């Protein structure tokens, strides 16, 4: 059976190096449409999607993440990042940060939205990497006030982010392991 959505899911992998080539207006519009069309529990739709294409702001977020890693003395993670080029956002030309009011299903809703963005990106010939580490950049104790700087409304918290762009590396999708399926009949 041919299924383009499943083909897109199976072709996607987390890409951690980007060319820096900017996205087109059409690509950005499609990614925004995917974010806004994502379902939410009880149709709350209280997420805010911060689309950042300014490389200086992306670098500032990257530096804030790295500063928190140094502050926490997370040597293993620092070494891992250095092995990947010293960047946590991988020079992506687009970073989408999802914020929401803390609620019972806010994290689930953000996960659905970030997956919709990732699959839309792949369907457009782009690649992505879903990211939790930017949470450190938005932590209240990090010395930066990036939440206010980005214009995020009060009372909203960082949920998840995604880097999107044109790949500058090759990486095969992870292998599918059917042993992870439990079938109840």
Q: For the whole model, what pTM was predicted?
A: 0.93
144-185 pLDDT per residue, tens: 678 888 999 999 999 999 999 999 988 888 888 999 999 999
Structure-token pair, residue 18: 């980007």
Answer CATH for 22-168 from 3.40.109.10, 3.60.20.10, 1.10.3720.10, 3.90.79.10: 3.40.109.10
pLDDT band, residue 29 (cuts 50/70/90): very high
Burial class (CB within 10 angstroms; exposed 0-12, middle 13-18, buried 19+) of 132: exposed
Paired sense of beta strands 127-131 and 157-165, if any: antiparallel
pLDDT in tens, 93-133: 999 999 999 988 999 999 999 999 999 999 999 999 999 99
Q: Which contacts of 6-12 are long-range, i.e. CB under 8 A and separated by 24 or more positions?
A: 8/119, 8/122, 8/123, 9/119, 10/173, 10/176, 11/122, 11/173, 12/118, 12/119, 12/122, 12/127, 12/128, 12/173
Q: For residues 95 and 83, what is the distance between their CA atoms, to the nearest angstrom?
A: 21
CA distance 32 to 37: 9
Relative to beta strand 48-52, strand 94-100 is: antiparallel
Alpha-carbon distance 115 to 117, whole Å? 5
Contact of 108 with 115, CB cutoff 8 Å: no
Instruction: Give me the DSSP letters along 92-107.
Output: -SEEEEEEE---TTHH
Could you tell me if residue 29 is left (phi over 0), alpha (psi between -120 and 50 degrees) or otherwise beta? Answer: alpha
d(CA 95, CA 115): 14
pLDDT band for position 44 (50/70/90)?
confident
Helix extents (H) in the chain: 4-11, 25-37, 55-71, 75-83, 106-123, 146-149
Segment holding 128, helix H or strand E: strand 127-131
Instruction: Give the domain ranges of the chain.
Output: 22-168
The single residue listed with the structure tokens 């950049």 is 137
pLDDT tens digits, 74-85: 788 888 888 877
């Amino acid at each position: 059976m041919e299924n383009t959505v499943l083909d897109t899911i199976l072709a996607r992998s987390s890409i951690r190096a980007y060319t820096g080539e900017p996205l087109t207006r059409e690509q950005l519009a499609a990614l925004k449409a995917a974010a806004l069309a994502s379902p939410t529990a009880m149709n709350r739709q209280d997420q805010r999607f911060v689309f950042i294409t300014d490389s200086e702001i992306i670098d500032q977020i990257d530096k804030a993440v790295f500063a928190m890693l140094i502050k926490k003395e997370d040597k293993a993670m620092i070494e891992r990042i250095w092995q990947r080029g010293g960047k946590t956002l991988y020079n992506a030309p687009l970073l989408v940060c999802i914020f929401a009011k803390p609620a019972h299903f806010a994290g689930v809703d953000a996960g659905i939205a970030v997956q919709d963005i990732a699959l839309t990106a792949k369907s457009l010939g782009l690649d992505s990497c879903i990211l939790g580490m930017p949470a450190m950049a938005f932590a209240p104790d990090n010395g930066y006030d990036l939440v206010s700087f980005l214009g995020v409304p009060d009372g909203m918290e960082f949920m998840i982010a995604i880097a999107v762009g044109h790949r500058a590396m090759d990486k095969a999708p992870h292998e599918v392991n059917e042993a992870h399926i439990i079938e109840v009949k």
